[in-house]
């Protein structure tokens, strides 16, 4: 691991945490109301509705890695440009009567998301003290989760009580406020080490991918997001309704318990890995997550399912910040922007592929199959992380975060 020569008293960028909260507050408000808006404005069918997250994810996928490369050239203002792009896209979206144009706008919104999220994540990873990096990443994810939780709770009310276009206007306003909040921080020059060796841009990613642990952590993050979006977000509510027979209100309670469990465990995962090492927390966390996910199909009692929802959310939150923190430990500071851009691209790949694959398994085999497949994937990733840990310790490149 490369040592970072920076002041140990450097504070976490609170402005980034505030912007992340506002950013996801706007996204959360739009989530429950967007399908209703599509149905009302474009008479959208299910296929048209599900295309929205696909093109949004594609925009993120395309822009994440280039943003990592551009970060060294344009710096932190890329974050503000991303926020302003989403704000403009939101206002433009409510002015079009063409579904295809609307679809293109949402893809551009994904580009703005990638610009903001890549810079924000790099800022938290760049904390100079290794023993604070896990907590820094956890705080970022906690800010995002809190914003989504609050926004999702009020999004439907805003749509119903104020008007169909109000969630778009609200999100645009959140982006503008977030841009103001982060403006002063973004105008300060970042303390970034120069790229060594004079390598041309096309060689930077190859250098990153050759760093021990980077490939494994990219795959791990992709699997985690694929399970989160493909199983827990889309199929778990259907499983509760169709197999257990609970009503929409109870389904909402179970999903909220999962989000609450994630929020509570994010801090434990980050701070625990700072104290005990990344891999000693990540590997058991993945195995616990696998056991909980695979066994949920055996439960029918609502009380047990409520506890399981809380526990699954907690297991997901425990491991969520660790791949990012490990990459921050392993990659030299001058390459962190490229590394985070690549990691987010892998994450977006999981977000796109996960729902498609898990949905096909549920339709083609059985609704319980995605839960079992997700459990198996988590165990495979845990096994690969265990092998990677041994290799890194043997090579002496693990650093204090991997031991």
What is the tens place of the pLDDT at every residue in 293-325? 999 999 888 889 889 999 999 999 999 999 998
What confidence tens digit (pLDDT) does each residue in 254-282 have? 877 888 888 889 888 888 888 888 899 99
What is the rounded distance in angstroms from the CA atom of residue 168 to the CA atom of residue 87? Answer: 9
Are residues 377 and 231 part of one domain?
yes
**Residue ending a domain, choose from 147, 173, 191:** 191
Are residues 220 and 182 part of one domain?
no
Are residues 136 and 57 part of one domain?
yes
Instruction: Tell me the helix, strand and coil percentages in the chain, rounded to 5.
Output: 85, 0, 15
Residue 191: the pLDDT is 56
Q: Residue 113 sits in a domain of what CATH number? A: 1.20.1250.20
Query: Which among 142, 117, 148 has a CA at the least distance from the CA of 267?
Result: 142
Q: With 60 as the cut, is the pLDDT of residue 153 above it? A: yes
Q: Write down the mean pLDDT value for the chain.
A: 84
What confidence tens digit (pLDDT) does each residue in 179-189 have? 998 988 877 76
What is the rounded distance in angstroms from the CA atom of residue 193 to the CA atom of residue 333? Answer: 6
Residue 131: the pLDDT is 62
Rounded (5°) CA angle 126-15-152? 105
What is the rounded distance in angstroms from the CA atom of residue 358 to the CA atom of residue 192? Answer: 41
Which of residues 280 and 1 earns the better pLDDT score?
Answer: 280
Are residues 304 and 206 part of one domain?
yes
Domain presence at residue 260: yes
Q: With 90 as the cut, is the pLDDT of residue 109 above it? A: yes
Domain presence at residue 314: yes
Percent of the chain surpassing pLDDT 90: 36
Q: With 50 as the cut, is the pLDDT of residue 59 above it? A: yes
Residue 116: the pLDDT is 93
Asked if 340 contacts 68 with a C-beta cutoff of 8 angstroms, the reply is: yes
One DSSP character per residue, 127-160 reads -S-HHHHHHHHHHHHHHHHHHHHHHHHHHHHHHH
Q: Read off the pLDDT band of 380 (50, 70, 90).
A: very high
Are residues 241 and 289 part of one domain?
yes
Q: Could you give the number of structural domains in the chain?
A: 2
Are residues 69 and 95 part of one domain?
yes
Domain presence at residue 4: no
Q: With 50 as the cut, is the pLDDT of residue 196 above it? A: no
Are residues 246 and 347 part of one domain?
yes
**Residue ending a domain, choose from 161, 191, 221:** 191
The parent domain of residue 318 ranges over 199-403
Domain presence at residue 2: no
What confidence tens digit (pLDDT) does each residue in 215-261 have? 999 999 999 999 988 888 778 887 888 888 877 667 777 877 888 88
Are residues 50 and 177 part of one domain?
yes
What is the rounded distance in angstroms from the CA atom of residue 145 to the CA atom of residue 141? Answer: 6
Residue 292 burial (CB count, 10 A): 20
Listed in sequence order, the DSSP H helices in 11-45 are: 14-42
Are residues 336 and 274 part of one domain?
yes
């Amino acid at each position: 691991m490369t040592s970072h020569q920076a002041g140990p008293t450097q504070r976490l960028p609170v402005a980034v945490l505030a912007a992340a909260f506002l950013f996801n507050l706007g996204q959360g408000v739009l989530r429950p109301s967007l399908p209703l808006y599509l149905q009302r404005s474009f008479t959208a069918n299910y296929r048209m509705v599900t295309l929205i997250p696909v093109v949004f994810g594609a925009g993120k996928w395309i822009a994440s890695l280039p943003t990592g490369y551009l970060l060294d050239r344009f710096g932190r203002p890329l974050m503000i440009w991303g926020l302003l792009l989403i704000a403009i896209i939101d206002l433009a979206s409510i002015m079009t009567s063409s579904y295809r144009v609307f679809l293109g706008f949402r893809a551009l919104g994904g580009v703005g998301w990638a610009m903001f999220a890549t810079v924000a994540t790099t800022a938290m990873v760049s904390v100079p003290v290794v023993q604070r990096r896990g907590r820094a990443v956890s705080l970022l994810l906690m800010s995002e989760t809190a914003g989504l939780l609050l926004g999702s709770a009020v999004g439907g009310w805003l749509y119903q009580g104020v008007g169909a276009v109000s969630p778009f206007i609200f999100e645009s306003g959140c982006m503008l406020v977030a841009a103001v909040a982060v403006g002063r921080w973004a105008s300060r020059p970042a303390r970034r080490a120069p790229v060594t060796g004079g390598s041309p841009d096309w060689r930077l990613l190859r250098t990153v991918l050759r760093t021990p642990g980077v490939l494994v952590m990219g795959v791990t993050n992709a699997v985690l997001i694929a399970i989160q979006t493909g199983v827990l977000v889309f199929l778990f509510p259907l499983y509760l309704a169709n197999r257990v027979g609970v009503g929409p209100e109870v389904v909402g309670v179970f999903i909220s318990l999962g989000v609450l469990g994630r929020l509570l465990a994010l801090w434990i995962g980050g701070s625990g890995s700072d104290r005990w090492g990344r891999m000693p927390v990540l590997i058991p966390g993945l195995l616990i997550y696998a056991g909980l996910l695979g066994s949920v199909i055996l439960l029918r009692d609502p009380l047990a399912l409520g506890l399981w929802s809380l526990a699954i959310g907690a297991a997901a939150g425990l491991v969520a910040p660790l791949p990012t923190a490990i990459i921050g430990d392993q990659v030299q500071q001058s390459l962190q922007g490229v590394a985070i851009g690549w990691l987010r691209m892998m994450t977006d790949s999981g977000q796109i592929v996960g729902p498609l694959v898990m949905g096909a398994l549920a339709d083609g085999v059985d609704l319980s199959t995605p839960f079992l497949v997700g459990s198996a994937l988590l165990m495979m990733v845990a096994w690969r992380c265990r092998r990677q840990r041994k290799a890194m310790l043997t090579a002496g490149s693990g650093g204090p975060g991997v031991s």
